[in-house]
């Protein structure tokens, strides 16, 4: 067999192998992204200067200082990494300008953002974004400050905040896409202490490809590259 014919016979399986590797990688990545799940819930935020930071404690545990700003945003997100922030800056001076300080009480500025119609449950319309200045006892929690200005509140059995001022009327952290068997994300309105769960046991809440899946894809691609190199050496 001539070298040219041998090289031609080698190219065919190599090209077929690479095509199969690309197709397999696409299937694996597609399977990972198909598991992504969105959840509709109220996220909880703390004002830090001009910026918002995702709260690390639930509102029933966090006891804000006088002069702080708390934010609540209703939206669909996978977890804290892609959660939408309140659409109003955490400006205590502006929010509490008309609420003078009072002895024996603290002032907590609140931004309550029900989100957009895109995130609203079917048949419901989100109320307008609003701010409020809660004047509560010095040891009051964020949940108590919220209750002072935004009743009625609704919680589920695991202490997750489901509704503020009656919105939404039904539902609580329900999944709106992805696999129905996935667990809820790590909601900012419910901490491990509140739900009785081990904080270290919580997942990242994301539904993307796992580390093992990505490593596997990388290994498959490396094998394909090695096959191409070996074929070239034989030629």
Where in the sequence is the domain holding 88, given as residue range(s)?
A: 39-201
Query: Does pLDDT of 78 surpass 70?
Result: yes
How many separate domains does the chain show?
A: 2
Of the pLDDT bands very low, low, confident and very high (cuts 50, 70, 90), residue 224 is low
Let me know whether 57 and 109 are in one domain: yes
Let me know whether 122 and 17 are in one domain: no
- Nearest alpha-carbon partner for 40 in 144, 128, 116: 116
Higher pLDDT, 25 or 200: 25
Let me know whether 27 and 124 are in one domain: no
Let me know whether 130 and 166 are in one domain: yes
DSSP string, 191-235: -HHHHT--GGG------S--HHHHHHHHHHHHHHHHHHHHHHHH-
Q: Give the least confident one: 82-91, 109-118, 136-145, 208-217.
A: 208-217
Let me know whether 7 and 103 are in one domain: no
In 3-state terms, what secondary structure has residue 26?
Answer: helix
**How far is 112 from 150, CA to CA, in rounded Å?**
9
Let me know whether 133 and 55 are in one domain: yes
Let me know whether 16 and 80 are in one domain: no
Task: Give me Rg for the CA atoms of the chain.
Answer: 26
Q: What's residue 196's pLDDT?
A: 43
Let me know whether 72 and 156 are in one domain: yes
Q: What's residue 101's pLDDT?
A: 96
Q: What's residue 32's pLDDT?
A: 45
- Nearest alpha-carbon partner for 196 in 153, 150, 158: 158
Let me know whether 131 and 85 are in one domain: yes
Let me know whether 77 and 109 are in one domain: yes
Do 76 and 215 contact (CB within 8 A), yes or no?
A: no
Of the pLDDT bands very low, low, confident and very high (cuts 50, 70, 90), residue 203 is very low
Mean pLDDT confidence for 15-31: 50
Query: Does pLDDT of 189 surpass 60?
Result: no
Element counts in the chain: helices (H) and strands (E): 5, 7
**How far is 6 from 4, CA to CA, in rounded Å?**
5
Neighbours of 60 (CB within 10 A): 19
- Nearest alpha-carbon partner for 231 in 1, 3, 14, 5: 14
Let me know whether 7 and 28 are in one domain: yes
**Dihedral over alpha carbons 37, 42, 47, 51 (to 10 degrees):** 40
Segments in the chain forming alpha helices (H): 3-34, 92-95, 142-149, 192-195, 211-234
């Amino acid at each position: 067999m001539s070298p040219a014919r041998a090289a031609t016979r080698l190219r065919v399986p190599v090209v077929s192998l690479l095509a199969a590797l690309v197709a397999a990688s696409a299937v694996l990545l597609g399977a990972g992204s198909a598991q992504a799940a969105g959840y509709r819930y109220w996220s909880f935020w703390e004002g830090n200067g001009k910026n918002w930071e995702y709260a690390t404690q639930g509102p029933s545990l966090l006891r804000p200082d006088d002069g702080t700003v708390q934010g609540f945003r209703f939206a669909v997100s996978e977890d804290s990494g892609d959660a939408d922030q309140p659409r109003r800056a955490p400006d205590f001076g502006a929010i509490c300008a008309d609420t003078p300080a009072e002895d024996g009480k603290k002032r907590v500025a609140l931004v309550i953002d029900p989100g957009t119609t895109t995130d609203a449950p079917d048949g419901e319309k989100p109320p307008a974004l609003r701010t409020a200045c809660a004047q509560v006892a010095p040891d009051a929690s964020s949940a108590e400050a919220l209750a002072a200005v935004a009743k009625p509140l609704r919680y589920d059995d695991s202490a997750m905040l489901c509704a503020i001022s009656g919105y939404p009327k039904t539902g609580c952290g329900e999944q709106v896409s992805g696999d129905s068997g996935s667990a809820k994300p790590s909601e900012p309105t419910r901490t491990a202490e509140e739900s009785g769960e081990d904080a270290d046991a919580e997942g990242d809440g994301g539904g993307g490809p796992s580390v093992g899946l990505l490593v596997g894809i990388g290994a498959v691609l490396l094998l394909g590259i090695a096959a191409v190199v070996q074929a070239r050496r034989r030629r």
